[in-house]
Amino acid sequence: MKKLLVFFRGYRKESVFAPAFKCLEAIFELLVPLAVAAIIDNGIKENDTKTIYQMCGVMIALGIIGLVCAICAQFFAARAAVGVSAKLRSALFSHIQDLGYAKTDEIGTSTLITRMTGDINSVQTGINMFLRLFMRSPFIVFGAMIMAFTIHVRLALIFAIIIAILAVVVFGIMMICIPLDKKTRANTDRVVGKVRETYTGARVVRAFNKQEHEVEDFNERHKSLTKLQLFTGKISALMNPMTYVLINLAVIVLIRSGAISVDSGEISQGQLIALYNYMSQILVELIKLANLIVTLNKAVAGAHRISDVLDTPAEAVRVAREEADPTGAAVRFDHVSYRYHSDADAAISDISFSVEPGQTVGIIGGTGSGKSTLIHLIPGFYTPTEGNVFINGKNTALYEKEQLRSQFGIVPQRPVLFKGSIRSNLLWGREDAFEEELWNALDSAQASEFVHQKEKKLDEPVAQYGRNFSGGQKQRLTIARALLRRPSFLIFDDSSSALDYGTESRLLHAIKHLSYRPTVFIVSQRTSSIMHADLILVMEDGEIVGSGTHKELLERCEIYREIHRSQYSEGGEQA
């Protein structure tokens, strides 16, 4: 939480001026009941018209000055709240960009979205309300009590007693609501996660006719959230009625005791009205304070959640058990194991292999065999639980993140395009690329033909997630983006699954004859995609059960032979 205070730098002036102007407004507001008392005791009672006009003028002046102070306070409070939340949102977004795969998996995408939106909005509202009311409301409450003591000590004791009782009520409800609000936000994450999952997989849901099941699942989560919110709301709702009841009981006691004091001549009628006005001011401010505390509860809960993300280290601590690889291989795995959670089974176990510069490596295996986990360890997206990964003879744990990643061109399993144009998406590969280089990358990726057919060519708009392109077109554009980097290592994570065999064959031929000869890793479910690789790794249950060339594996690896036969007929044709 203390870390979040640094975001107030640059807004310290606003953070001081906002409550200062609110306190000035409160001072002028506290003077109004005295003017009313003067009108009653000196103006109306003595039939002094001049005094009435003078005091009315004073009240108007106090109102105008108070309004100006309130506007200034609102301006400074809003400026500080918006500025601090903007810096906080920017810092959070930047930190999320630096989070490693493991940390992102651990926290969850839906939770990060909620913290970027709802939690920061709660903090912004909390800062605004805090700067405007947190000084003003206590100032009015205690100021009104002090002013009451200057009028009549015995009657002012009623103020002191009621304020003490109200403080117990307000802070008691607050202590109950804080943990409930945390639970509410956790349930909100679950609902957001379900909505995101369902919308992302909407086509799959419809394909399997699971709409009713998804609706029921959502309704269950939503009902749980609603039930908790209603319970929290009922507790919070007790604040206003209890405050009103206590204050009105105090008003009754005040009027009864005050009437006796007026009758005995201890105080004047104007002074009793002033005491009543001060009691009314206390009522209004305590209700504001109660609502402020509820708002601050949500803001504090949101701030804690944001702070938790900011305190999360970007990546796990990388330990180099061995610094260098004496073999000089481009990539070497030395007894590498990895598990996603400390109490989970290993995703891959005791993996060892070596790849020479410029070689093409194929990785094949069933779903869940650990193929994607293995290739994500190469560029350091995950840190090995055991063993070492070496790139060009150096342990990946010793590389700076930017230095390591700059050597890779990666085409993910799920093609991702960003809203913009074909050109802007390709330039993610290399910002200073020339027009000719863009077309060369598209040619190699077998994408230039359909790009030429577009009306605006490279400047053709790309919708969010590339929705205006087919699956095969998106895959080829992401491949072109990776090729544009001219990386030392190319990784294709089942990134040609939407391509027909002819297009895939031309793509693999183009990659094999690239002028800069990168080391290539191809993850695929098709043996046709990797049969010409220099080394093929066959994986099952997180282990390498076979390695060698296509011909060697057909002879001695049963699993590879079964996969190949399932895709090719006895005559050697694709099934």
Going by C-alpha positions, the residue among 336, 333, 327 that lies closest to residue 353 is: 333
Residue, of 549 and 280, whose pLDDT is higher: 549
Helix (H, G, I), strand (E, B) or coil at 4: helix
* Cα torsion angle, 459, 460, 463, 469, sign: negative
Q: Which of 374-383, 412-421, 562-571 has the lowest mean pLDDT?
A: 562-571
Going by C-alpha positions, the residue among 344, 293, 297 that lies closest to residue 169 is: 293
- Three-state secondary structure string covering 273-333: HHHHHHHHHHHHHHHHHHHHHHHHHHHHHHHHHHHHHHHCCCCCCCCCCCCECCCCCCEEE
Angle at 193 between CA 190 and CA 197, to 5 degrees: 140
Q: What percent of the chain has pLDDT over 90?
A: 1
- CA 524 from chain centre, in angstroms, equals 33
524 near 364, Cβ under 8 Å? yes
pLDDT tens, position by position, 344-362: 778 888 888 888 888 889 9
Banded pLDDT at 571 (limits 50, 70, 90): very low
Domains and CATH numbers, the chain: 2-311 (1.20.1560.10)
Residue-by-residue DSSP string for 483-518:
HTT--SEEEEESTTTTS-HHHHHHHHHHHHT-TT--
- The pLDDT of residue 15: 85
- Is the pLDDT reported for residue 81 higher than 60? yes
Banded pLDDT at 287 (limits 50, 70, 90): confident
Q: What are phi and psi of 543, to 5 degrees?
A: -130, 155
pLDDT tens, position by position, 13-70: 888 888 888 888 888 888 887 777 777 777 777 677 787 888 888 888 888 888 898 8
- Is the pLDDT reported for residue 575 higher than 70? no
141 near 210, Cβ under 8 Å? no
- The pLDDT of residue 316: 63
Q: Using CA atoms, how far apart are residues 440 and 515, in angstroms rounded to an integer?
A: 12
- Is the pLDDT reported for residue 227 higher than 50? yes
Helix (H, G, I), strand (E, B) or coil at 530: helix
- Is the pLDDT reported for residue 556 higher than 50? yes
For the sheet with 331-338, list strands across it: 348-355, 331-338, 386-391, 394-395
Angle at 529 between CA 574 and CA 525, to 5 degrees: 80
